[in-house]
Amino acid sequence: MGEGATSRKRGRYAATDAKREGIVTAARSVFEREGLDGASLRAIAAEAGYTPAALYFHFDSKEALYAEVLGRSIATLQEAVNAAVASAGTPAERFSAAALAFFDFYAANPRDLDLGFYLFRGGMRPHGLGRERDRALNEALEATLAPIRGAALALGADAAQADLIMTDAFAHASGVLLLAHTRRIRMFGASARTLMERHVETELDRLLRR
């Protein structure tokens, strides 16, 4: 009962501290430098100037810390998407801008892609991240994709179609990014962005042709 907003465990009413932020930043650094595998709790603690155990005062688990980093990542992504949409004119341009900005962000930041795949996948068992944190990440993601749906609506799609189009763009970008990131896609002789552009154009064609 009563799921708290942030961390409290031993500390009875620890607020969102500057120290928390320091740890998240350290985690982000180690993660960017060493990748997911190298970003052990011990390495993160060392980077932040702590002992591993100290981190558990501020976070419930390694997953929870990662979730915090992923939250920041999605926020940055959302800014990038919104910026791209803001500088686009027509609904068709907004659609294309949003979808490609989403794609380009992860193409340019493979570490964020790793983290997203890892955490959205379920990460480490069994501690998981609670339902509330899970939902928060889902909502952040949906907010990020919202401009795609919005552009589809502006192009005449109904609500269900717009949902479908948004979901499909998300799925397609995920698949292409996954393949490209895995370096499996070179095998078939097409660039990742070409595939994404093709998807966007196809959806636009369909929408513009009524």
Partner DNA sequence: GACGAAAATCTAACGCCGTTTGATTTTAGC
Partner DNA sequence: GCTAAAATCAAACGGCGTTAGATTTTCGTC
- Out of DNA, a copy of itself, none, what residue 53 binds, judged by CB under 5 to 8 A for its kind, is DNA
Compute the least distance from the CB of residue 11 to a copy of itself, in Å: 30
13 near DNA (CB under 7 A): yes
Of 144, 15, 119, 25, give the one whose Cα is nearest residue 67.
119
**How is the chain split among helix, strand and coil, in percent rounded to 5?**
75, 0, 25
41 near DNA (CB under 7 A): yes
Nearer to a copy of itself by Cβ, of 93 and 114: the residue is 114
Q: Which amino acid is at 59?
A: F
124 near DNA (CB under 7 A): yes
Q: Which of 142, 156, 158, 208 binds a copy of itself (CB under 8 A)?
A: 142
**Secondary structure class of 73 (helix, strand, coil):** helix
Nearer to a copy of itself by Cβ, of 20 and 149: the residue is 149
Measured over the CA atoms of residue 20, residue 21, residue 26 and residue 27, the dihedral's sign is positive
63 near DNA (CB under 7 A): yes
150 near a copy of itself (CB under 8 A): no
Of 122, 33, 20, 139, give the one whose Cα is nearest residue 69.
20
DSSP for 4-54, written as a single string: -SS--SSSTT--S-HHHHHHHHHHHHHHHHHHHHH--HHHHHHHHT--GGG
Nearer to a copy of itself by Cβ, of 17 and 142: the residue is 142
28 near DNA (CB under 7 A): no
131 near a copy of itself (CB under 8 A): no
171 near a copy of itself (CB under 8 A): yes
172 near a copy of itself (CB under 8 A): yes
Measured over the CA atoms of residue 136, residue 78, residue 118 and residue 184, the dihedral's sign is positive
9 near a copy of itself (CB under 8 A): no
- State residue 10 phi and psi, 5-degree precision: -85, -50
- Binding residues for DNA, per CB under 7 A? 10-14, 17, 19, 39-43, 49-54, 56-58, 61-63, 124, 127
